[in-house]
């Protein structure tokens, strides 16, 4: 562009130089006067000059337009740069505020850790006091036994001449037994408190290890702390109660991995005392529970809605033993009932037989399942009949899969009926029922089945 403008300018200068009139001096006759003649540029030269000027103006205009565009681009980039600078300033302020917050949390965590250490020291002192009390009680019992033996020996030698002495000994023994029972009860209560405190301490320790922030010299997380967290991940929990012990406090969907099992997702019901692994939920009829054996074995439904966890997964969690089955029921008046039964669940070789721990007397609610399952109830679906009813498949006769005995006491996997239920009894008996609560022909509104280690009942 600059080369073109220079060439045009030079051309114009030359044309102007040749186009303007000039004086031509010539030799005249002697004594003659000098004559001045004016010469002008030709028309073609003028046209060339005009065309060059026009071309020069157009080029100058294009150059000015391009310069304006370039200036606008520069201003746009400057505005974007200014905005970016302002955003970086705000982000820097936000990060600085977060750094102050993290520092405050670190101080709070240190304070809580100090409290935890104090609680641990107090618990150790209490444990030592309990041990000392046990030793004292043992010594007192030994002295009492020796005293009773000597008294009995003396009375035996004297032939029990005074019958009132035997009565006094009996009263003394009974009083001493009561004192022993009181001491044992006090020790049991103290042990329960220690167990709860130990659970809270483990929870606090896990929370501290998760939440403790670490700072480098620039108030940011250090690379070494990140690598340390990656190199030492928490072991995956075997059930929801272990998640509770690891510090989880919110109910929801988690991933667990029982012993000798692949990881799978579960819904955990987290309470103040522990974590329950939910194995079944009925609430709105959105899932069809009239499924075949394979579906009941693998599981179906949505963990955030209605679902059956799967016999394989239930067995994987509970196969260690020492688990309790918690069943919650509700009717259409929003009344609630709860049943808790210690249980064991066999594997596929037993058709996932449910065995309820034998009890001297089952309550009314517990009897709908507990009485029949003392010796074990295998699971039944409409394509695999394992119930106790001769010539009838209870899953076909009713609906869904369940630990059926003779079809008539309970079935929480039956058809879901909205209120009001069907008028025909042969339809209502296919619903969700618990005979000893609302009767054989009352379809319930909801049911939830959960399992947890039996220790949760002592919490």
Residue 98 lies in a domain: yes
Count of residues making up the chain: 459
Residue from 4, 453, 454 nearest 242 by CA: 453
d(CA 117, CA 123): 10
Of 280, 295, 288, 282, residue with least CA distance to 383? 295
273 and 388 both lie in a single domain: yes
- Residue 203 included in any domain: no
d(CA 342, CA 282): 22
Give which of 290, 279, 329 is closest to 416, Cα–Cα: 290
The verdict on residue 376 lying in a domain is: yes
Please say which residue of 113, 141, 169 terminates a domain.
141
What CATH number corresponds to the domain at position 368?
3.90.215.10
Inside any domain, residue 297: yes
- 163-183 residue pLDDT tens: 566 667 677 777 777 777 777
Residue 198 lies in a domain: no
In the predicted model, is pLDDT for residue 47 greater than 60? yes
Number of domains into which the chain is organized: 2
Judge if 128 and 266 occupy the same domain. Answer: no
| Residues 219/223/224/225 CA torsion (nearest 10 deg) | 60
Query: 136 and 249 share a domain?
Result: no
Query: Which of 191-200, 221-230, 321-330 has the highest average model confidence (pLDDT)?
Result: 321-330
Confidence of residue 378 (pLDDT cuts 50, 70, 90): very high
Q: What is the pLDDT of residues 69-109, one digit of tens each?
A: 999 889 888 888 888 888 888 888 888 888 888 888 888 87
Point out the least confidently predicted range of 113-127, 317-331, 381-395, 416-430.
113-127
Q: Could you say which of 96, 126, 141 is where a domain stops?
A: 141
Backbone angles phi, psi at 221, to 5 degrees: -65, 130
Identify whether residues 299 and 425 lie together within a single domain: yes
Same domain, 125 and 255: no
Overall average pLDDT of the 190-196 stretch: 67
Q: How high does pLDDT run on average in the chain?
A: 80
Of 103, 125, 141, the one marking the end of a domain is: 141
Measure the CA–CA gap between 394 and 407, rounded to whole angstroms: 5
- Residue 39 pLDDT: 56
Q: Taking the CB of residue 48, how many other CB atoms lie within 10 A of it?
A: 16
Lowest mean pLDDT among 111-120, 316-325, 400-409, 425-434: 111-120
Residue 12 in domain: no
**CA–CA separation, 384 and 294 (whole Å):** 10
**Which of 293, 263, 277, 282 has the alpha carbon at shortest distance from 326?**
277
Q: What is the pLDDT of residue 267?
A: 97
Lowest mean pLDDT: which of 237-241, 284-288, 454-458?
Answer: 454-458
For range 22-28, the mean pLDDT: 44
Strand 300-301 to 264-270 pairing: unpaired
The answer to whether 276 touches 290, Cβ cutoff 8 Å, is: no
The predicted structure's pLDDT at residue 212:
47
pLDDT in tens, 407-450: 989 999 999 998 788 888 888 899 999 999 999 899 999 999 99
What confidence score (pLDDT) does residue 41 get?
Answer: 61
Pairing of the two strands 433-434 and 354-356: unpaired
pLDDT category of residue 4 using cuts at 50, 70 and 90:
low
Q: What is the reported pLDDT for 342?
A: 94
Name the one residue in this structure whose structure tokens are 């030359």.
14
Question: In this structure, is residue 301 part of a structural domain?
Answer: yes
pLDDT at 33: 46
**Amino acid 380: pLDDT:** 97
Burial of 156 (0-12, 13-18, 19+ CB in 10 A): exposed
Average pLDDT over residues 384-391: 91
- 244 lies in the same domain as 387: yes
Look up the domain containing 345 and give its range: 240-453
More confident: 25 or 255: 255
Could you give phi then psi for residue 270, rounded to 5 degrees?
Answer: -95, 120
Asked if pLDDT for residue 330 goes beyond 50, the answer is: yes
If phi over 0 gives left and psi between -120 and 50 gives alpha, with beta otherwise, what is residue 67?
alpha
- How much is the average pLDDT of 245-267? 93
């Amino acid at each position: 562009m600059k080369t073109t403008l220079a060439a045009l300018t030079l051309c114009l200068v030359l044309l102007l130089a040749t186009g303007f009139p000039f004086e031509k001096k010539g030799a005249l006759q002697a004594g003659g006067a000098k004559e001045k003649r004016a010469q002008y540029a030709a028309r073609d030269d003028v046209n060339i000059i005009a065309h060059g000027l026009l071309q020069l103006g157009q080029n100058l205009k294009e150059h000015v337009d391009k310069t304006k565009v370039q200036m606008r681009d520069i201003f746009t980039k400057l505005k974007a740069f200014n905005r970016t600078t302002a955003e970086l300033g705000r982000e820097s302020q936000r990060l600085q505020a977060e750094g102050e917050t993290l520092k405050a949390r670190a101080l709070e965590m240190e304070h809580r850790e100090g409290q935890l250490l104090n609680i641990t020291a107090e618990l150790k002192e209490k444990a030592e006091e309990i041990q000392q009390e046990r030793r004292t009680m043992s010594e007192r019992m030994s002295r009492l036994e020796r005293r009773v033996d000597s008294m009995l020996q003396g009375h035996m030698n004297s032939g029990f001449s005074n019958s009132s002495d035997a009565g006094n000994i009996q009263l003394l023994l009974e009083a001493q037994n009561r004192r022993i029972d009181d001491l044992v009860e006090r020790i049991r209560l103290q042990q329960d408190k220690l167990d709860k405190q130990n659970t809270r301490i483990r929870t606090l320790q896990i929370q501290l290890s998760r939440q403790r922030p670490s700072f480098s010299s620039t108030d940011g997380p250090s690379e070494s702390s990140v690598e340390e967290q990656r190199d030492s991940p928490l072991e995956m929990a075997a059930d929801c109660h272990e998640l509770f012990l690891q510090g989880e406090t919110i109910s929801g969907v988690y991933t667990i991995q029982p012993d000798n099992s692949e990881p799978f997702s579960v819904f955990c019901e987290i309470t103040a005392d522990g974590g329950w692994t939910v194995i079944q939920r009925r609430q709105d009829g959105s899932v069809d529970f009239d499924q075949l054996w394979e579906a009941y074995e693998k599981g179906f439904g949505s963990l955030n809605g209605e679902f059956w966890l799967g016999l394989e997964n239930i067995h994987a969690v509970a196969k260690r033993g020492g688990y309790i089955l918690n069943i919650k029921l509700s009717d259409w008046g929003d009344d609630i009932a709860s049943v808790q039964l210690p249980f064991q669940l066999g594997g596929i070789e037993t058709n996932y037989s449910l065995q309820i721990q034998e009890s001297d007397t089952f309550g009314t609610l517990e009897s709908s399942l507990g009485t029949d399952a003392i010796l074990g109830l295998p699971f039944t679906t409409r394509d695999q009949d394992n119930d106790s009813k001769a010539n009838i498949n209870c899953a076909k006769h009713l609906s869904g899969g369940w630990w059926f005995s003779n079809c008539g006491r309970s079935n929480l996997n039956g058809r879901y009926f909205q209120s009001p239920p069907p008028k025909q009894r042969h339809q209502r008996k296919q619903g969700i029922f618990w005979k000893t609560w609302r009767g054989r022909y009352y379809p319930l509104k909801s049911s939830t089945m959960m399992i947890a280690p039996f220790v949760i009942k002592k919490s």
